[in-house]
Each structure stands twice: as structure tokens, then as C-alpha cells.
A and B are shown apart, each in its own frame.
Chain A
């Protein structure tokens, strides 16, 4: 679905979703802003071009599977899901509130269309491996793909590397993984907290096909996924270099925005900036 949107329309979507995230987080009074904004382009590319899904039929048996492993960035997934038609956009404002289906971290059993419960880091790749293994070896569903996104700080978890070995061993070629490489985690920069580099070489040495991209360029994301689908003998790791807080100048690259939400004043300022950017998309005058 959604494959007919052109690049300009997709850029508008991403901008709209970023505004939704700001409004949601401001209303919630807590939540993770930087990663949600930084991943907006990847989520837009997934939900409005890449994923083979039917939002009105979330358990459609032929659907692609998307598992968000770094569950704290779920506001951007909720925004994308609402925009795609899984539920009404009004519900976005219930994020993190008592009785909401939009839990602070995603819960599969609460909201149709969510494939997975996540939040505690490091397990999503293993779960994606389970799905990919099933498609490739058990059910012969070669047309279905499994996508997952991990945060870069998440890679500190040992579970990730257990999964990296597993996917390499079984050459899970229907598995396409993104690392949201924004270089921040709660306590500071990833390279200070626990250095990850040489990240590209690490994944290659585990038997993965690895591609580094600008994770804020929608066309690049789409092109790279097309390339990834053509890699039929290995899992693919897309190291997506993103700008944390992307689109709001006072949030960009600042690790203090990892786990906090904007107040009313900050939200208004952020929305003004995003709306200004939105008006430049049609002219092609965006960065």
C-alpha cells in the first residue's frame, strides 16, 4: 500500500509525523523526543512505501512484519500507524495515559497492528530472526520481509550479538535491519558510554551485508531497501545515520532530549520550525 506517493508527498508525511510527535509528547508530559524525530524519515519510508501491509486488516496473512526493537521511540510509530489508517489520529493524544492503547512502550496485545511488545532493549533482533527463520525455512514465504529498527545505544546489549550470530549462521536473507545511528544514548555519546565503532566491520564480520546511509533521506532509505531485498544470501544491516531531534534546531544533536518531552512553549517553537520546513518541501528547498 501507499507505494504511489511521490518523494515530495513522503517528505510532507515525515514532516507531519514529526509535528504529531511533538504534540503527542507535549500532551503526554513525558517520552522520548530525539529518537522519535530522528527516525521519522525511516518510519515514513516504511509505512508509506516499503512495507507490504493492509492497515485496515492488520493481521493480513501475507503482510510484511515490522518490529520496533528500541520501543522508547514508539511515538513516531504510533504517528505513522495513525496516518496509515490503523486507528484514528485523535487517539494519538492519549499516549502514555491511563487506559490508552498507546502505551509508553509498545504492547502488541493492546493495539492491532503492533507486531511486538518491546522496550527492554536488545531482544527485537532476536524476535525478527524468529520471524525471518519461519519465512525462509519453515513456511517458504519468500515474498515476505521482516524489518526491524534498533537504537545504537541498544547495541550495548549482549542479546543483540547473540542474534547477530544467529542471523549470520542461518543467512536470514528476508531480514532487513536498521540501526538508528544517532550517536546518543541517555548518559551521553555512544562512543563515550561504550564505543561501538568500527560498527560496519563488526556486522560484516558476523556475516551481514552492511550499508551505511543518511537515515534522514527518504529516497536513500527506499533505494537502500530495494538493494537489500536483492541480497539473497545474507541478512542486511542498514546503518542509518540520523540526526537526533531532526527538524527542531534546539533539539538536534543534544542528548538531553533523548528521554524528555517538550513543554508547551518548546512544543510551539518546535511546531513553528517544522511548519516552516514543511512549506519549503514543495519548492525542493530543503536540506
Chain B
């Protein structure tokens, strides 16, 4: 049985919502309170990425780098060499979008515990358009040896994830969304780096989501149950290291897998699950996300509709998938 404590209000119209970046901001402040080696750097987007909460509490531990993302992470690498735990924050489009090589060399090969904070990731940035809607960050971060990749599903989890990566001693990437996101978890819900959580049990199909998409999967699962499809929902807030055991166990139970992410499916979360399943337990798979194109301007809710990432759209796709693809059950 799933013993994950889900927000009991999650499927109601009046579900609480908060920004994932806000959760990060509070988590960073709390981490800074617990450990005075934590420092924060930002490239001229301090309030947007909510580093202002930390800056106001610990101004002496905040470093402004200006609009210079390569310098941002390389200075962070130097601070780590001097014993600090630096959080280097900007928009994901530039960090890690622009400074990937510095992250690879000065953080990952160097194995320094720098925390890369990618704000305003995904199409949820909205009207700013394709240049600012970072969709490739999961792919380019998870391919780096030594890197931990965390994509929290709501503000509460973002706070926990921030505190967890603050103390994990490793290069880490945390992906943050801009807009308010429904709260799926509770203060008591577990979060551990490298763990996936079954939020809802089912036997027809496994819906695996990361970041803001897990909420949409819960909505989809409810809609699917109304038409007789019993979907399991697995929340995967850590993409690297991937919780192979939980994912494979769920796939074994249901025989069909759907992944959902607000990012390119190629190389992203869907790519990670596809790699795992195809090597360990080939299972019919449908990946939902952005499919080899860039985003465009629009309000976030409009864009989620346009790209088919709402619970309603997903329920329809999953229904077709379930009706057309047989469950695969291994005999061994």
C-alpha cells in the first residue's frame, strides 16, 4: 500500500497553490540557518529566483555576480574549494543553459558541492517565450557524472529538497518553476534524494511524473478512474540518481508506463525511464512532455493546454494508450 501522505485537498478545486521557487527560497534560508557555510550567489535575478529571502536574512553570505553565468558557477566552485556550500542561482535558460561547460569542469569533474539553481524552468515561464522557457536542462544536467538532479513537485517539497541538497556534499541541480503550483504533498510527506514515491496505487498503467507534472497525473488518474482505468501514480522528484527499484516495481505491477515532464522528452525524465526500462525490463512506454520543439509565448495555463500537459489531455492520451497497447507481464 502507498503510505505517502498526499495533500487530502489535492483534487479539489480549492487546492492550495504556491510557487516552487518560493519553497526553494524558504528552504535556502532554513539551510543557511542550519549551516553557516552555506552561501548564495545570484546573477541579477535575486528576487525572481527568491534568493532575496536568504539575502535579507544573511546579507554577508550573499554574493551578486551580475549577469555573468559562467562566472557565477566558477566563482561558486572557488567558494566550494574554500569550504563553502554555494547555491548559484539564475534562470535555468542561462544556468545551466549558458554555462554548461563551467558546470562540467569546475563543478562536476572537480567534484565540488556547488548547487545549481535553475529558476523559471519549463513552459510555465509563459509570455517570455521560447528563449526563456528552458526545456533541455534535465537532459544536460543528468548526463553529467557526479551530478544530482532534483525536480520538486510543489513548494513544500522544494523546501525539503533544497535542505537535502544543501547537505548532500555533491554537485546538484534543482529545477524550479515560476508559477503557482498546486500542493500535492504535506509537511509530513517524505523526501529523500534518490527516492520515488507511489502516490496512488493502480493496476492498469503507471503514470510517472516529475516536477509540476505529478499534479496533472493525479488529476488524470481521477479522470481515468471515472472511465474504469485504474492508474498508479508515481512521483519522481529525483531524476538522478533515479529510483530504479520503485520504478521497476511499479512497471512490473502495471505492465504499462507513461512519463510526464515539463521538458524535452528526449534525454529528459522520459528518456531516463526509457533507458532504465529498455535495459532492465522492456515495458510499453509513452512519454509525455515537449517533443522536439521550442516553446512560445502565452499564459502558462494556455501553454499547458496547447502542449497537452493538463490532466484532461493526459487522461485522453493515457486512455488511448491503455486501449491500444496490451499490458506486458513478465513471466520471470
Contact = CB atoms under 8 A, between A and B. Distances in A.
A133 B70 contact: no
B106 A134 contact: no
A138 B38 CA distance: 11
Interface stretch (A25-33, A110-118, A208-216): A110-118
B63 A133 contact: yes
Contacts of A115: 81
Interface residues of B, number: 28
A134 B68 contact: no
B299 interface: no
Chain A CB within 10 Å, residue with most, of B68, B75, B86: B75
B102 A123 contact: yes
B63 A123 contact: no
Interface size class of A (residues with CB under 8 A): 20 to 34
Interface in A157-189: 158-159, 162-163, 165-166, 169
B82 A130 contact: yes
Interface in B191-217: none
Contact of A134 (B70, B83, B101, B110): B83
A165 B71 CA distance: 10
A127 B78 CA distance: 4
Contact of A130 (B60, B80, B101, B105): B80
Interface in A52-82: 65, 67
Given A108-B110, A123-B105, A138 B84 contact: yes
A159 B71 contact: yes
Given A109-B111, A119-B105, A130-B76, A158 B81 contact: no
B81 A126 contact: no
B78 A133 contact: yes
Contacts of B106: 116-118, 123, 126-127
A118 B75 CA distance: 14
A214 to B, nearest CB: 29
Given A117-B109, A126-B71, A166-B71, A137 B60 contact: yes
A126 B79 contact: no
Interface in B52-101: 60-61, 63, 65-66, 68, 70-71, 74-84, 86, 101
Interface in A117-136: 117-120, 122-124, 126-135
B248 interface: no
A169 B70 CA distance: 17
A67 B77 CA distance: 12
A126 B110 contact: no
Nearest to A118: B105
Given A131-B78, A133-B75, A138 B111 contact: no
Given A115-B81, A127-B81, A165 B105 contact: no
A139 interface: yes
Nearest to B101: A120
A162 B70 contact: yes
Contact of B82 (A118, A119, A120, A131): A131
A254 interface: no
B150 interface: no
B39 interface: yes
A135 B84 CA distance: 11
A67 B82 CA distance: 12
A108 B105 CA distance: 11
A112 to B, nearest CB: 14
Given A116-B110, A123-B74, A165 B81 contact: no
Contacts of A162: 65-66, 68, 70-71
Nearest to B107: A117
Chain B CB within 10 Å, residue with most, of A124, A131, A132: A131
A138 B106 CA distance: 21
A156 interface: no
A66 to B, nearest CB: 11
A230 to B, nearest CB: 23
A158 B63 CA distance: 20
A107 interface: yes
A165 B74 contact: no
Nearest to B79: A130
Given A118-B105, A138-B61, A130 B81 contact: yes
Contacts of A158: 70
A107 B65 CA distance: 26
Nearest to A135: B82
Interface of A: 65, 67, 107-109, 115-120, 122-124, 126-135, 137-139, 158-159, 162-163, 165-166, 169
Given A130-B77, A169-B66, 17 more contacts: A116-B110, A123-B74, A123-B102, A123-B105, A126-B102, A127-B78, A130-B74, A130-B75, A131-B78, A132-B78, A133-B63, A133-B79, A134-B79, A138-B60, A138-B84, A158-B70, A166-B66
29 contacts: A107-B109, A116-B81, A117-B105, A117-B106, A117-B110, A119-B105, A120-B101, A120-B105, A126-B71, A126-B78, A127-B81, A128-B78, A129-B71, A130-B78, A130-B80, A131-B81, A131-B82, A132-B78, A134-B78, A134-B84, A137-B60, A139-B82, A159-B74, A162-B70, A165-B71, A166-B65, A166-B66, A166-B68, A166-B71
The 9 closest A-B pairs by CB, nearest first: A130-B78, A126-B74, A134-B82, A162-B71, A127-B78, A162-B68, A130-B79, A130-B75, A159-B70
